[in-house]
């Protein structure tokens, strides 16, 4: 790396934070079964401790996303949870309402044809907004499992209008510092027509909901051939990109660690963001979050792997020479334009990552340092004992 590249990569890292998901530290499973880990978090306290540990090692994960039903039980004091997070050196990040687990959601939540269920779902979201205000969270992150499984099952237009009405009502409840993120997914659990199936649908609904509703791009929620960075560029240009859920996949929503299958994909997404920032003279405000559940890899190791990979790819993308790229594009010099991206991608940014970590008093290799601390071993022993004392059988709900 040249000194100029080193500086650019380090400056990029200074502004890059990634939110970890509370559910990523707990026992979770596939649709067919769960394989339990002794070190898996039992309760929110454990999840915040694990997230705090990841932040202490990486220095770039200051917030933890929470799930309202899984993490906040009815009657729980949100301010006490915020205090607990602070004790672990982190803050509560995006609030994720749960609109898919209760039996009443069999036919959907906001898209349901029963007004009483829609009202129930909306009330749960209002409660989530209130929790967000109490803990100082900036984001309400919405994912809906709503959809239909067979042609003719429901009115696609009526379900869309139900979504419009509920999202608009929810937007009115947002505090001045809160942003609503609308996530999309092409299929699963619905296998005929998911109500918010792609970025265009999420865009339309967010636009109609109000100015503080944006689109959330989960990198696993696209068809295999889809050009995700193009979607990102369009959303950026429309000021409608709210955030990301990072994961990688080979087939569908596989929840693999970021960059394990296609690091160039994540690089190209980051490139669009840096290029946008270079054109506009400002870095857009984007919530970078992880959404992964690991059944095989140890959960904290998988989280650290994703964080470290995201930092490396973000730093590489910052190295694209934008002036040279504009010149090449102006001349339709296809080869040189592509080479600028490929050269940045191929640059070894390890010196920049190490320098940044040293400057921030962080271990140069967070994963090895995590192993060296013995954190997972200690957590496994302690949590195994606690499970026994509490009479807990590993299993139960998804998280």
Distance from C-alpha of 286 to C-alpha of 264, rounded to nearest angstrom: 20
Ranges of beta strands (E only) in the chain are 20-21, 63-67, 91-96, 139-142, 147-148, 179-183, 193-194, 213-218, 241-246, 287-290
Contact status: 248 vs Mn ion (CB under 5 A): no
Distance from C-alpha of 51 to C-alpha of 32, rounded to nearest angstrom: 27
Contact status: 255 vs Mn ion (CB under 5 A): no
- Nearer to Mn ion by Cβ, of 218 and 305: the residue is 218
Q: Which of 118, 245, 294, 383 binds Mn ion (CB under 5 A)?
A: 245
- Whether 65 contacts 93, CB under 8 Å: yes
Distance from C-alpha of 195 to C-alpha of 166, rounded to nearest angstrom: 13
- Whether 99 contacts 144, CB under 8 Å: yes
Q: Which of 19, 46, 218, 301 binds Mn ion (CB under 5 A)?
A: 218
- Nearer to Mn ion by Cβ, of 245 and 274: the residue is 245
* C-alpha distances out from residue 91 to 235, 278, 289, 359, Å: 28, 30, 14, 23
Q: How far is the CB of 337 from Mn ion (least distance, A)?
A: 32
Q: How far is the CB of 222 from Mn ion (least distance, A)?
A: 12
Q: How far is the CB of 287 from Mn ion (least distance, A)?
A: 12
Q: How far is the CB of 151 from Mn ion (least distance, A)?
A: 27
- Nearer to Mn ion by Cβ, of 94 and 170: the residue is 94
Q: Of the ranges 77-85, 173-181, 213-221, 308-316, which one interacts with Mn ion (CB under 5 A)?
A: 213-221
> Helix, strand, or coil here: 205?
helix
Q: How many residues bind Mn ion (CB under 5 A)?
A: 3
Q: Of the ranges 2-10, 289-297, 330-338, 378-386, which one interacts with Mn ion (CB under 5 A)?
A: 289-297
- Nearer to Mn ion by Cβ, of 47 and 245: the residue is 245
Q: How far is the CB of 13 from Mn ion (least distance, A)?
A: 24
- Nearer to Mn ion by Cβ, of 19 and 218: the residue is 218
Phi-psi region of 395 (alpha: psi -120 to 50; beta: other; left: phi over 0): left
Distance from C-alpha of 110 to C-alpha of 99, rounded to nearest angstrom: 8
Strand partners, 24: none
- Nearer to Mn ion by Cβ, of 21 and 154: the residue is 21
**What number of residues does the chain have?**
399
Q: How far is the CB of 212 from Mn ion (least distance, A)?
A: 20
Q: How far is the CB of 96 from Mn ion (least distance, A)?
A: 9
- Whether 18 contacts 290, CB under 8 Å: yes
The CA-CA-CA angle for residues 139, 251, 368, to 5°, reads 65
Q: How far is the CB of 218 from Mn ion (least distance, A)?
A: 4
Q: Which of 255, 272, 291, 301 binds Mn ion (CB under 5 A)?
A: 291
Give the interface with Mn ion as residue ranges (CB under 5 A). Answer: 218, 245, 291
């Amino acid at each position: 790396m040249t000194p100029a590249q080193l500086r650019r990569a380090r400056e990029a890292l200074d502004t890059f934070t990634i939110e970890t998901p509370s559910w990523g530290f707990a026992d979770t499973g596939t649709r067919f079964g769960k394989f339990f880990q002794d070190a898996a978090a039992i309760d929110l306290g454990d999840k915040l401790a694990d997230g705090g540990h990841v932040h202490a090692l990486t220095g770039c994960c200051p917030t933890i996303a929470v799930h309202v039903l899984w993490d906040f039980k009815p009657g729980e004091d949100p301010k006490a949870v915020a205090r607990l997070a602070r004790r672990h050196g982190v803050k509560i990040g995006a609030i994720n309402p749960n609109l898919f687990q209760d039996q009443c959601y069999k036919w959907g939540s906001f898209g349901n044809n029963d007004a009483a269920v829609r009202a129930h779902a909306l009330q749960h979201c209002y409660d989530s907004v209130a929790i967000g205000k109490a803990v100082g969270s900036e984001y309400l992150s919405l994912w809906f499992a709503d959809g239909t499984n067979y042609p003719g099952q429901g009115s696609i237009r009526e379900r869309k209008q139900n979504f419009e009405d509920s999202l608009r009502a929810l937007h009115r409840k947002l505090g001045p510092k809160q942003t609503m993120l609308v996530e999309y997914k092409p299929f699963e659990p619905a296998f005929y027509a998911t109500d918010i199936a792609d970025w265009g649908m999420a865009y339309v609904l967010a636009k109609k909901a109000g100015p503080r509703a944006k689109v959330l791009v989960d990198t696993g929620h696209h068809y295999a051939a889809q050009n995700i960075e193009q979607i990102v560029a369009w959303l950026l240009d429309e000021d409608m990109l709210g955030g990301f859920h990072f994961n990688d996949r080979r087939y569908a929503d596989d929840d693999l660690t970021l960059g394990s299958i296609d690091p160039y994909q994540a690089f190209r997404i980051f490139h669009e963001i840096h290029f946008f920032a270079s054109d506009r003279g400002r870095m857009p405000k984007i919530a970078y979050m992880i959404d992964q559940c690991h059944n095989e890899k140890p959960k904290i190791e998988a989280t650290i792997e994703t964080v470290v990979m995201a930092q490396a790819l973000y730093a590489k993308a910052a190295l694209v020479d934008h002036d040279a790229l504009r010149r090449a594009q102006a001349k339709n010099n296809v080869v040189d334009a592509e080479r600028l991206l490929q050269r940045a991608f191929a640059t070894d940014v390890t010196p920049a990552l190490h320098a940044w970590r040293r400057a921030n008093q962080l271990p140069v290799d967070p994963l090895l340092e995590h192993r060296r601390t013995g954190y997972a071993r200690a957590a496994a022993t302690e949590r195994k004992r606690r499970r026994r004392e509490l009479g807990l059988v590993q299993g139960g709900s998804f998280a």
